[in-house]
Every structure is written in C-alpha cells, then in structure tokens.
Amino acid sequence: MSSSAALENSVVFGLNELFDLGLTKNEMIFISQKAEHNYVGVNCGIMDQYASMFGIKDHGLLLDCRTIIAKPFEINFDNHQLVLNNTNVKHSLSDSTYNDRRSACENIAKLLVIKALRDANVELLESIIGKVTPENYQKALYVIQENERTLKAAKAIQNNDLEKLGALMYGSHNGLQHQYKVSCNELDFLVDQSKKNKFVLGSRMMGGGFGGCTINLIEKEAVLDFTSSTSKAYKNKFNKDCSVYFIELSEGTHTIK
C-alpha cells in the first residue's frame, strides 16, 4: 500500500530489466530507500520497500529490519477480512515531525548505549527516565512496546487467534495516538467508529501517520454495513469522503508477462 515505495521499486526494477544492470532485489530496495532519504527528505527505514519488493501472495512477512530477512506465513482469516478506510487527509512526512521522532529514538538508544531501541526493554528504558523529556520517553516506550506487539501479532495470526490480533491492533493505535503522537483527528474518529461495531475485531492507523488509512479486521458479512455507516458518519463529521479499499495480499515487484 505504500505508494512511494511501490513507485520507487517499480522504477528501479524496470531500469534493471531494461538495461540489464544485474542488480539484486536487495540492492534495489536500498536504492529505493535512498530516494526517500536524499530526494524526498524522509529518513525512513526499509520496511515499505522490502514489503513492496518481496511480497508473497496470501502471506504476511515478519521482517527483521536489521538482518533484512523475513519469515513468511500464510494468512487466511476465514470469515474475516481486512478493509482500509482512507481519511483522504494528505500527509507530507518530510514536512511533518517524522524525522524528529526518529532522531529522538536514536538519541535515546545512544543514552542506553545500544544500537537501536529493539535492543532495549521497559526496565532498561526506565533507567534513564530522568535524562529525557516525558514526551521522548513515551515515544521510545511506544517503540519498545510496539516491537513486542508485532511479535505477538505474528503468533496470533499463525494461531488463528483473531480476537488477540484485533486487540493488538487497537493497542497499537492507542500508542500511535497518545505516545508516538502521529495520528490525527480523522484517523482517531475512524478507529473510534470501528469500536462501535461488534463485528470489527481491530483497527489502527497504518503508514507514517498524520493522514492516510486505517486498517480494519472485520467479519465478511458485516463489511458493507460497516463501510457504509462509517463513510456516512465521516462525511457528517468532516464534510469529506472516506474512501474504502478492499485489499489482497499479492506478489511483490515483478515483470508482467
């Protein structure tokens, strides 16, 4: 769903094919990432580029961004499906505080004398609570907790525990909203609307924040009613449309023959 990563990957992949450059997919995703860093000005990680390049149909990928190795696992939600609600709020991450948040987390990692916050736990973070601002402490705490939620979510999917997965999605959005503070009123409204529907198991914002989409895990038979009522409520609240996307997990960047 990351439009920028998909565009970058398709361009470098196409050039590689046209001019027989001999680049590997791993090399290509780092070229795509450099376009974000050097042209767009967003100091992003490698997740979007990896997912767009290496996607596997009907599978999720548990990616280790340090080793650039992902564990694929089949996703079959049976009578549930994923639906995206688009706020149609355009975000510009280079103009937002995205880079500031990354910088704050990197500085805290230095204080902890670790390479990245993935190497920390809550107890270690508490050891420097007096050395950082409350706001930056919460941002780092969110990252540590979100890493834990990600591992739990992967297990929940593999165990077909959709109730657990939904709860983790709501927990993730709560952290993004109140700790990392990259949500917005429109995203929060859509997540709150999902909580009013008993057929929705979980919802959270996705992407870099400050706009974009929510992703919802919902019972298939209730999708049309949910999307219709949510779109109507959103229109009444913000006087703008809420687009709905029905998604599929597909193959990554490849040549169409």
Start-to-end CA span in the chain (Å)? 22
Instruction: Give the other-Cβ count within 10 Å of 74's Cβ.
Output: 12
Instruction: Give the other-Cβ count within 10 Å of 67's Cβ.
Output: 7
Which pLDDT belongs to residue 96?
A: 62
**Residue partners of 255: CB distance under 8 A and separation at least 6:** 13, 17
With cut-offs at 50, 70 and 90, classify the pLDDT of residue 3. confident
Of all residues in the chain, the percent with pLDDT exceeding 90 is: 89
Q: How far is CA 183 from CA 78, 100, 188, in A?
A: 30, 15, 7
> Shortest CA distance to 2 belongs to which of 38, 39, 55, 58?
55
What is the rounded distance in angstroms from the CA atom of residue 165 to the CA atom of residue 184?
23
Q: Mean pLDDT across the chain, nearest whole number?
A: 95
Give the global pTM: 0.94
What is the rounded distance in angstroms from the CA atom of residue 119 to the CA atom of residue 113?
10
With cut-offs at 50, 70 and 90, classify the pLDDT of residue 99. confident
Do 72 and 61 touch, CB atoms closer than 8 A?
Answer: yes
With cut-offs at 50, 70 and 90, classify the pLDDT of residue 92. low
Q: Which CATH number is associated with domain 55-246?
A: 3.30.70.890
Domain chopping of the chain, boundaries: 1-54, 55-246
With cut-offs at 50, 70 and 90, classify the pLDDT of residue 93. low
pLDDT in tens, 103-135: 999 999 999 999 999 999 999 999 999 999 999
Which pLDDT belongs to residue 257?
A: 81
Which pLDDT belongs to residue 55?
A: 96
CA atoms lying within 13 Å on the CB side of residue 19: 8
The residues carrying an active-site annotation are 48
Do 183 and 177 touch, CB atoms closer than 8 A?
Answer: yes
pLDDT in tens, 21-62: 999 999 999 999 999 999 988 889 999 999 999 999 999 999
Mean per-residue pLDDT, 225-253: 96
Q: Beta 213-219 vs 59-64: how paired, if at all?
A: unpaired
- Can you tell me whether residue 127 is helix, strand or coil? coil
